[in-house]
């Protein structure tokens, strides 16, 4: 028997708008976990809370009409992309000139700060730009990176979502990590 999320997604895909009400309780805990993990890797001063990120992403996902999700893994991939887009938009808004983005910012040592708080600091805009360059040159590794980074998907879920082997996922993920590390280091 198929996963409950896949069954509800199929109903949603058939135009049953009430299925969205069934879907949220099924995916909420996992989406919130993903949002918390994603927000934990951002620099201090982040104002968006996990609950708000989940709700914004969910509204964006079900508000689009039928996106034709092919099951649970595809849905969580789309959720990861929606969360990514929301965080990038927020980072852009924070950096906008009309909100003081042109003001001089104090410099600090990110490595020292990351060591102090025990997790890496991620520049959302730099990561978004690096992912776009990866997507332009290597679409499949970029899609795999999105699922791994933002949806927390394991190799089996990614392989199923892309109809490839787990070994191919490992290889593409290794390539994507190296590409992104190089892009973010420059």
Q: Based on the structure, what is the number of domains in the chain?
A: 1
- The confidence band for 126, taking pLDDT boundaries of 50, 70 and 90, is confident
Residue 141: burial class (beta carbons within 10 Å; 0-12, 13-18, 19+): buried
Q: Look at 33-47, 77-91, 108-122, 158-172 and tell me which has the smallest mean pLDDT.
A: 108-122
* pLDDT for 113 beyond 50: no
Q: Are the C-beta atoms of 85 and 91 separated by less than 8 Å?
A: no
- Higher-confidence residue of 134 and 162: namely 134
Percentage above 90 pLDDT, the chain: 12
Q: Which pLDDT score, from 0 to 100, does residue 139 have?
A: 92
**For the range 64-67, what are the long-range contacts, defined as Cβ-Cβ under 8 Å and sequence gap of 24 or more?**
66/12, 66/13, 66/15
Domain span at residue 148 reads: 4-99+106-185
Q: How long, in residues, is the chain?
A: 186
* pLDDT for 137 beyond 90: yes
pLDDT in tens, 43-72: 666 677 888 888 888 888 877 665 667 777
* pLDDT for 116 beyond 60: no
DSSP state of 97: G
pLDDT in tens, 19-29: 778 888 888 88
- Higher-confidence residue of 138 and 52: namely 138
* pLDDT for 171 beyond 90: yes
83-98 mean pLDDT: 75
Helices and strands (H and E) in the chain: how many: 9, 0
Q: Which pLDDT score, from 0 to 100, does residue 44 have?
A: 67
Maximum separation of any 2 CA atoms in the chain, in Å: 58
Q: What is the pTM of this model?
A: 0.57
* pLDDT for 125 beyond 50: yes
Q: Are the C-beta atoms of 37 and 84 separated by less than 8 Å?
A: no
DSSP state of 138: -
pLDDT in tens, 93-110: 776 555 555 554 444 444
Q: What is the mean pLDDT of the chain?
A: 77
């Amino acid at each position: 028997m198929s996963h409950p999320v896949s069954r509800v997604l199929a109903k949603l895909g058939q135009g049953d708008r009430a299925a969205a009400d069934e879907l949220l309780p099924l995916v909420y805990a996992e989406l919130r976990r993903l949002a918390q993990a994603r927000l934990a890797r951002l620099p201090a001063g982040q104002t968006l809370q996990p609950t708000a990120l989940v709700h914004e992403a969910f509204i964006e996902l079900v508000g689009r009409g039928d996106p034709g999700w092919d099951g649970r893994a595809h849905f969580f991939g789309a959720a990861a992309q929606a969360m990514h887009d929301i965080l990038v938009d927020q980072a852009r808004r924070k950096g906008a000139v009309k909100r003081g983005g042109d003001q001089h910012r104090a410099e600090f040592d990110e490595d020292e700060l990351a060591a102090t708080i025990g997790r890496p600091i991620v520049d959302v805009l730099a990561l978004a730009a690096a992912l776009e360059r990866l997507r332009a040159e290597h679409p499949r590794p970029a899609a795999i990176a999105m699922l791994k980074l933002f949806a927390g998907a394991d190799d089996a879920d990614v392989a199923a979502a892309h109809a490839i082997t787990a070994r191919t996922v490992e290889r593409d993920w290794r390539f994507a990590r190296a590409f992104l590390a190089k892009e973010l280091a420059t």
